[in-house]
Structures are given as C-alpha cells and as structure tokens.
C-alpha cells in the first residue's frame, strides 16, 4: 500500500481534515454540555441550597443537545468540499441530511420539553 495503513490514513483524515472543519462553537457547545451534565450529576453535592440549579443546568443540557445536530450539519457541509472521491462526498451529503433530520427532531423535543415544564 502506497499511502500507509488504514489506521494512519484515518488519523491523518481526522487531524488534517475533520478537526479543522469543526467550528469553534461546536467545541464550546460540547464543553457546556459536559459542564451541565456534570453539574446535574453532582447537583446534590455542589448545589444543595439552590433548588433552581437543576432547572438551569437541565436547560443548558437541552439547549446543547438541540444545537449539536445543526453544528454537525455545518461540519459535514464543510467536509463535502474537502474530500476528493464522489462516494465520500455522497456520504457527507447523507450525513448532512441525517443532521437536518436530527436537528428538527431535537428542536421538536426541546419545544415539547419546554411546554411540559411550564
């Protein structure tokens, strides 16, 4: 094989193509998602005297989960122009369509959760 092993090609794709295509907002969203999840997990230890903390961190978690599919769509659209083979472009177009569907489902889930909570 001329270009090295498949593992080396996968690492090269991840470091040189995929990670630079991920927008900065996606990293902030993932960080906020982890922060909200950890605070919900340790709510009794960290926030025992603040009953509204659970509501705020649950809202942050739901917002991040609703935003991630749209950021995935943006990343996939950026990758379409960077890959060379037609089947990889088709694959990333399918990922884009799946991201749109997941984004719509997440948006409806967020709206239903907001209606149920109020």
Note down the domain range covering 90: 6-117
> pLDDT at position 114, please?
82
> pLDDT at position 28, please?
97
**Considering the domain boundaries, does residue 91 fall inside one?**
yes
Sheet strands (E) in 1-118 = none
Buried/exposed code over 50-60 (b: 16+ C-beta within 10 A; e: otherwise): eeeeeeebbeb
C-alpha–C-alpha distance, residues 81 and 12, integer Å: 17
Look-up: residue for tokens 């809202």? 59
C-alpha–C-alpha distance, residues 35 and 47, integer Å: 14
**Considering the domain boundaries, does residue 44 fall inside one?**
yes
Task: Determine the length of the chain.
Answer: 118
Domain count, the chain: 1
Cβ neighbour number for residue 69 with a 10 Å cutoff: 19
**Considering the domain boundaries, does residue 40 fall inside one?**
yes
Closest CA to 65 of 40, 93, 92, 91: 40
**Considering the domain boundaries, does residue 60 fall inside one?**
yes
Per-residue pLDDT reduced to its tens digit, 3-40: 678 898 889 888 998 999 999 999 999 999 999 999 99
**Considering the domain boundaries, does residue 1 fall inside one?**
no
Please indicate, yes or no, whether the overall pTM of this predicted structure exceeds 0.85: no
**Considering the domain boundaries, does residue 16 fall inside one?**
yes
**Considering the domain boundaries, does residue 88 fall inside one?**
yes
**Considering the domain boundaries, does residue 52 fall inside one?**
yes
């Amino acid at each position: 094989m001329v270009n090295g092993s498949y593992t080396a090609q996968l690492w090269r794709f991840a470091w040189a193509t995929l990670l630079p295509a991920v927008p900065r907002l996606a990293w902030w969203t993932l960080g906020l998602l982890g922060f909200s999840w950890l605070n919900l997990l340790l709510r009794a230890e960290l926030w025992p005297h603040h009953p509204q903390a659970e509501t705020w961190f649950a809202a942050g978690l739901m917002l991040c989960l609703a935003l991630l599919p749209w950021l995935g769509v943006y990343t996939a659209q950026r990758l379409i122009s960077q890959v060379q083979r037609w089947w990889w472009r088709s694959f990333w177009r399918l990922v884009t369509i799946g991201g749109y569907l997941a984004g719509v489902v997440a948006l409806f889930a967020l709206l239903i959760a907001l209606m149920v909570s109020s």
